[in-house]
C-alpha cells in the first residue's frame, strides 16, 4: 500500500471514530448528500497534507471551518484540534515510511462501524412523524418523544409543532 493510500485509510478511520462528524451526517446537517460530503472531506484533508507542509493547528482550523460551513456544526468540544493532532502524527509516520507503526497504532483504535463506507440515511423529523411505528408520543408537559434509533431519542417541544400548523 502506498503512502497516500495508507494515509487516506487513516483519515477515513479517524473520521469514522469522530462523533461530531458522524452526528452531523446522521442528523442531516450536511443535507441529503451528507455522507458524500464526509467522504469528500476525507479527500480534502488528505490532499491538504499531501500538497502543503501543514501543522496540526492549521489542520484543526481547516476541520473546524469545514464542519461549520458544510455541516453547520460548531464543535465546542475541541474535537477538531484533537483530530488534527492525531492526523498530523499519523501523517508524520506515513511520510517517514513507518507503515508497520501506522498499522499497529490504527489497531488500537476502538472497534467501531466504519460508517463512512456504508450508507447513512438520516431520519428527518417529518419523516418520523409520518411513520406511525417509529413514533412514541408522550403528552405530559407538551413534549413529543420520537425514537429513531434504539440508542438515540429526540425530544422536541410539541408547542413549536402546533404553532407551525396554524
Residues 43 and 100 in one domain: yes
Residues 142 and 111 in one domain: no
Domain boundary among 97, 117, 137: 117
Residues 34 and 112 in one domain: yes
CA 131 – CA 135 distance, rounded (Å): 7
How confident is the model at residue 148, as a pLDDT?
52
3-42 confidence digits (pLDDT tens): 889 999 999 999 999 999 999 999 998 888 988 999 999 9
Query: Taking 50 as the threshold, does the pLDDT of residue 76 lie above it?
Result: yes
Kindly state the average pLDDT of the residues 100-107.
92
Residues 39 and 62 in one domain: yes
Domain boundary among 98, 117, 136: 117
For the CA atoms of 114, 110, 16, 107, what is the dihedral angle to 10 degrees?
-80
b/e string for 141-159 if b means 16 or more Cβ within 10 A? eeebebebeeeeeeeeeee
The three grid cell numbers given for residue 94, joined into one nine-digit string: 506515513
Total domains present in the chain: 2
Residues 77 and 153 in one domain: no
Residues 67 and 100 in one domain: yes
The mean pLDDT of the chain is: 78
Residues 142 and 96 in one domain: no
Residues 67 and 106 in one domain: yes
- Provide the domain limits for residue 141: 125-165
Non-local CB neighbours of 160 within 8 Å, separated by 6+ positions: none
Residues 132 and 105 in one domain: no
Q: Which of the two residues, 131 and 42, has the higher pLDDT score?
A: 42
pLDDT bracket for residue 113 (50, 70, 90): low
Residues 41 and 57 in one domain: yes
> Which H or E run includes 22?
helix 19-26
Amino acid at each position: 500500500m502506498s503512502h497516500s493510500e495508507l494515509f487516506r485509510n487513516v483519515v477515513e478511520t479517524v473520521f469514522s471514530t469522530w462523533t461530531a462528524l458522524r452526528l452531523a451526517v446522521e442528523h442531516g446537517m450536511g443535507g441529503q448528500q451528507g455522507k458524500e460530503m464526509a467522504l469528500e472531506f476525507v479527500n480534502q484533508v488528505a490532499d491538504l497534507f499531501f500538497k502543503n507542509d501543514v501543522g496540526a493547528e492549521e489542520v484543526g482550523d481547516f476541520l473546524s471551518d469545514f464542519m461549520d460551513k458544510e455541516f453547520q456544526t460548531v464543535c465546542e468540544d475541541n474535537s477538531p484540534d484533537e483530530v488534527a493532532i492525531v492526523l498530523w502524527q499519523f501523517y508524520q509516520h506515513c511520510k517517514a515510511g513507518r507503515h508497520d507503526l501506522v498499522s499497529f497504532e490504527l489497531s488500537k483504535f476502538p472497534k467501531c462501524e466504519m460508517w463512512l463506507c456504508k450508507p447513512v440515511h438520516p431520519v428527518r423529523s417529518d419523516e418520523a412523524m409520518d411513520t406511525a411505528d417509529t413514533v412514541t408520543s408522550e403528552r405530559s408537559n407538551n413534549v413529543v418523544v420520537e425514537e429513531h434509533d434504539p440508542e438515540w431519542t429526540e425530544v422536541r417541544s410539541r408547542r413549536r409543532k402546533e404553532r407551525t400548523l396554524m
